[in-house]
């Protein structure tokens, strides 16, 4: 049996070591090579799972903590495999073409490789101990990416980010302790199979702690306040991993919570989450209308999308769950693409304010058209994987909540209409005097555009690659 997960993690650790030992000018090339190798192994693992009809692979590397019966145990399934593919593609694109600022290449590359290592280990952790450790490591590497390489207000934004994420981490730790003393195991599969032995009152407490921890990370209103500042102040690569990957930690956690705890299959909880997701989506959509900062607009767009994912999970239908997983993949890659194009436009014209950027389509053609394509992809244009995810989510939501389940689609409509508006009034407005180029982007950024856009359309044109895989999930 191939030990794919071990190979991926070892590749990323070796890449990190080589980046530490090499000179600044070679660090990006090494990061691209090792991240590319990790992506190649992930794709081989995906093809193997698809062809064999078995999405489950378990890799146990021996006992880690004897007293708690904790093993270095990793397990891949359909959900974690799809999120691992997403993480690998985004990180590769970020290392190869995301350093728009062309600065601190060595430090950024090292943190990106370590973040990818933590993320893939998190998505494939077979027990809650490793799940918690790698979540915290991922947060730590993302924090340093923001704190060290962000823009003017990076310190304030990074401290706010850490405060929110540390609070979520503490809530998660309390929940994990309660689970261990109730179920006498931290193995995720065992908890799923034997969760009924956990007393109902304890399940309620565990559910509350887990849900709070994960919706802070997603984030969902009213726990979202760290996200706009963090995304606005982060470097291009930092924004790509924060929005594209880190927010998926929370969504994956919510999925696991519903799979682990029978108490979560309660109609009252479903309605509460529908209301929470719906309100969060509309709140973010209306806040976007008041924004002028390009990066802040995209940051709030991520909240709209994650709120819709929460509604898919709350539907508690197979089709809604599948849609949520596919939408996570689509949203991760799309938001990473939007931050890359947005940051490129900001870098080219040295301006964040959409009121002061005019005619990017004339002086920054590739970035302008990528921004426009990104709007289509956020809106779930047919033949994109985002269309499949949104379609499945709203079918699942309608089957559970009737007409109320599809009302949040109008938040998405508001978002897309506003993005179309700024696209026509600013980016593609070439009447009169246009903004002048101050900087230029490299060919690597344009290749990264192609990688991310191609990913979204390849899986959208061939949606059975994911849908058939999700059917294998037990």
The number of beta carbons lying within 10 Å of the beta carbon of residue 100 is: 26
Q: Residue 441: what pLDDT?
A: 78
Tens digits of residue pLDDT in 267-288: 888 999 999 999 999 999 999 9
* DSSP letter for each residue of 76-145: E-HHHHHHHHHHHHHHHHHHHH--TT---HHHHHHHHHHHHHHHHHHHTBSBHHHHHHHHHHHHHHHHHH
User: How far is it between the farthest Cα atoms of the chain?
Assistant: 72
Q: Residue 208: what pLDDT?
A: 93
Tens digits of residue pLDDT in 376-401: 999 889 999 999 999 999 999 999 88
- Distance, in Å, from the CA atom of 288 to the CA atom of 418, rounded to the nearest integer, reads 8
Q: Residue 2 pLDDT more than 80?
A: no
Q: What average pLDDT is seen over the chain?
A: 89
**Across 29-43, 220-234, 425-439, least confident range:** 425-439
Q: Residue 433 pLDDT more than 50?
A: yes
CB within 8 Å of 17: residues ≥ 6 apart: none
**DSSP code, position 3:** -
Length of the chain: 474
Tens digits of residue pLDDT in 210-267: 999 999 998 898 888 888 888 888 888 899 999 899 999 999 999 999 988 888 888 8
Q: Residue 1: what pLDDT?
A: 42
248 closest CA partner among 122, 157, 361:
122
332 closest CA partner among 412, 250, 420:
250
Tens digits of residue pLDDT in 125-147: 989 999 999 999 999 999 999 99
Counting beta carbons within 10 angstroms of the beta carbon of residue 177, is it exposed (0 to 12), middle (13 to 18) or buried (19 or more)?
Answer: middle
- Distance, in Å, from the CA atom of 297 to the CA atom of 294, rounded to the nearest integer, reads 5
**Across 106-120, 194-208, 351-365, least confident range:** 351-365
Q: Residue 92: what pLDDT?
A: 95
Q: Residue 367: what pLDDT?
A: 86
Q: Residue 84: what pLDDT?
A: 95
- Distance, in Å, from the CA atom of 356 to the CA atom of 278, rounded to the nearest integer, reads 33
Q: What is the pTM of this model?
A: 0.93
Residue 439, phi-psi category: left (phi > 0), alpha (psi -120 to 50), beta (remainder): beta
Q: Residue 473 pLDDT more than 70?
A: no
Tens digits of residue pLDDT in 64-83: 777 777 888 898 888 999 99
Instruction: Yes or no: say if 94 and 237 are a contact pair by the CB < 8 Å rule.
Output: yes
CB within 8 Å of 412: residues ≥ 6 apart: 281, 285, 304, 305, 308, 379, 380, 390
Tens digits of residue pLDDT in 396-419: 999 988 899 889 999 999 999 999
């Amino acid at each position: 049996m191939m030990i794919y997960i071990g190979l991926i993690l070892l590749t990323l650790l070796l890449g990190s070591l080589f980046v530490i030992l090499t000179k600044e000018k070679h660090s990006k090339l090494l990061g691209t090579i090792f991240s590319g190798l990790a992506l190649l192994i992930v794709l081989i693992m995906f093809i193997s799972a698809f062809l064999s009809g078995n999405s489950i692979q378990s890799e146990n590397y021996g006992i880690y903590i004897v007293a708690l019966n904790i093993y270095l145990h990793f397990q891949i399934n359909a959900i974690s495999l799809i999120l691992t593919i997403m993480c690998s593609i985004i990180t590769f694109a970020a290392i190869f073409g995301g350093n728009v600022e062309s600065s601190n290449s060595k430090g950024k590359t090292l943190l990106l490789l370590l973040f990818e290592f933590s993320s893939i280990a998190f998505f494939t952790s077979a027990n809650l101990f490793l799940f918690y450790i790698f979540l915290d490591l991922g947060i730590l590497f993302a924090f340093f990416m923001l704190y060290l390489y962000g823009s003017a207000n990076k310190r304030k934004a990074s401290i706010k980010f850490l405060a929110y994420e540390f609070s979520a981490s503490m809530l998660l730790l309390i929940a994990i302790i309660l689970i261990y003393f109730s179920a006498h195991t931290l193995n995720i599969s065992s908890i799923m199979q034997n969760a009924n032995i956990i007393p109902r009152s304890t399940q309620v407490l565990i559910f509350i702690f887990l849900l709070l921890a994960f919706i802070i990370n997603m984030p969902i209103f009213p726990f979202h306040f760290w996200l706009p500042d963090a995304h606005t102040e982060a470097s291009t690569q930092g924004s790509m991993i924060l929005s594209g990957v880190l927010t998926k930690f929370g969504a994956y956690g919510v999925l696991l919570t519903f799979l682990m705890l029978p108490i979560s299959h309660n109609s009252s909880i479903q309605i509460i989450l529908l209301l929470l997701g719906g309100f969060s989506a509309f709140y973010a959509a209306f806040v976007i209308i008041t924004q002028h900062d390009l990066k802040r607009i995209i940051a709030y767009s991520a909240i709209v999308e994650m709120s819709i994912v929460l509604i898919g999970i709350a539907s508690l239908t197979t089709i809604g769950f599948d849609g949520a997983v596919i939408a996570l993949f689509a949203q991760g890659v799309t938001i990473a693409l939007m931050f890359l194009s947005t940051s490129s436009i900001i870098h080219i014209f040295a301006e964040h304010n959409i009121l002061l950027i005019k005619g990017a389509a004339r002086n920054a053609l590739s970035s302008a058209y990528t921004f426009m394509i990104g709007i289509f992809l956020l809106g779930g244009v047919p033949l994109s994987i985002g269309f499949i995810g949104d379609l499945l989510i709203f079918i699942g939501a309608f089957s559970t909540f009737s007409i109320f389940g599809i009302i949040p689609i109008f938040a998405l409509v508001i978002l897309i209409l506003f993005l179309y508006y700024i696209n026509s009034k600013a980016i593609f407005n070439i009447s009169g005097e246009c903004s002048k180029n101050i900087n230029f982007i490299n060919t690597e950024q344009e290749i990264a555009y192609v990688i991310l856009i191609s990913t979204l359309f390849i899986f959208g044109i061939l949606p059975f690659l994911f849908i058939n895989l999700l059917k294998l999930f037990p």
